[in-house]
Structure 1
């Protein structure tokens, strides 16, 4: 059996942000292997959240963020089961940071489930066309195209995006799951709206060549 030192527990704690007790137990269960211990903690977090899946999360917090230049603003709603958790500093901090994340990465949907089937089909078609244009063998096209589609989801779906406040590169979904397991309640990112100054307004664009021609004619 591996010697589970305080330094090893601290290393896992720094890598996962899990409670010290859970880190020690994970290392014991994994015979001191950091990689296996990390996987053990992730499975434990997912299991905790899965047990709460049937519960209703109708409380929570609506937070706002306006970028310092005044050109981008976000409103986001994240639900919890109780008002008590909604007042939790770590929960409210996550919701505020999530607004900044949305402002920076500009997702279109909360999750893959929200993406209309026709858009998914179109993106898959585009991906397959791109793979064929690369000259890849036909039998590899579906697999490579699925990888491209996954990348598209990562760009456009909030839960699939790498969380901007996480230096370990974890997705928003993973960070949310771990926070829910830590606090002990079901949490759901319900919806968001992102505003950008001038978005959707048709702007007149002057033709520089025509402008020069007009000036020369005068």
Structure 2
């Protein structure tokens, strides 16, 4: 049995947002393997529930680091723009961007270009979630395929919905364009980065918030 240190528990908590005791249990169940513990929390529904908690963080910074033949961009969010102007925060963003130069991305243009190891890992998590819901084995595979389609819509560009009409898949748009132009059309790569993307900003009454903090 691996030694479960406080530092390892904190690392898992920072990675998933789950409670300290849940993180310790996950690491105990997985013999101290961090990524396996992440999957254990997901299968138990604990990491997903934890991600819904907390306050909105739609401010922050985008950091970029380059090296010969490659580059990396990262987004680090904070609750206020005051934090983003802090020198320590800016240093963290620079360091994370530097580290990200050695990380592999989870996004892909097509299903075929997606890391199959990641797909199989997702398949395993989805299977355990279905079993935890008490579903019979004969329908679990159908459930997995349905949920994998949702997964592909999140991480594969061609499977995502075209922003113009909110209905058509990107791959269908390309097929239609190819027919119109009478030539093949393909996406070889893509980049889109926007600070605070996908985060719903809260509308606040500043005066009321100050009054609440002052206890008046």
Q: Say yes or no: TM over 0.5.
A: no
TM superposition score normalised by structure 1 = 0.40
Q: With structure 2 as the length reference, what TM-score do the two structures score? A: 0.40
Q: Which has the larger radius of gyration?
A: 1
